[in-house]
Amino acid sequence: MKSELSEVKTELAKKDLLISHPILKETWAEFEKFRTSPDNKGMNLKTAAKVYLVENGLLDVPRKGLEKPTGGDRVPMASGMTSDDVKTLRETNFKKYQELIRKGQLKIGK
């Protein structure tokens, strides 16, 4: 009785899978071989079908990935002071130089 119930459940799961992914009808033997490999043994039937379809490029819908960058190719402007500007500030206005250092506002760019 239990084996018959198990067979019926397996057949129903197979029918549902074939309805949702009709491409598997053509490659069912390969799919069964895929499921019995040691790496995939014990995997849920639906999960195994998705993995099989993705690995073999049979899935019609491409999966979403990261968004495309939209910022363009503009290089951001350098901020801060050049090393020459810092040298000039240190030599001409040392108090201002010390104040900027203490506040952490002195950023030396390249």
* 51, 84: one domain: no
* 45, 10: one domain: yes
For 35, residues 6+ apart whose C-beta sits below 8 A from its C-beta are 41, 43, 45, 48, 52
pTM of the model: 0.49
Q: Is residue 11 part of a domain?
A: yes
**Rounded-to-integer distance, Cα 58 and Cα 55, Å:** 8
Q: Is residue 33 part of a domain?
A: yes
Q: Is residue 104 part of a domain?
A: yes
Domain extent at residue 96: 78-110
Q: Is residue 69 part of a domain?
A: no
pLDDT at residue 78, as a whole number: 61
Q: Is residue 19 part of a domain?
A: yes
Q: Is residue 15 part of a domain?
A: yes
Q: Is residue 31 part of a domain?
A: yes
Express each pLDDT in 40-63 by its tens digit: 888 888 888 888 888 888 776 666
The number of domains in the chain is 2
Each residue's pLDDT tens digit in the chain (110 positions)? 888 888 898 889 889 988 888 888 888 899 989 989 888 888 888 888 888 888 888 776 666 777 777 777 777 666 677 888 888 988 999 999 899 888 888 766 55
pLDDT at residue 108, as a whole number: 63
Q: Is residue 64 part of a domain?
A: no
pLDDT at residue 93, as a whole number: 92
* 44, 82: one domain: no
* 16, 49: one domain: yes
pLDDT at residue 66, as a whole number: 74
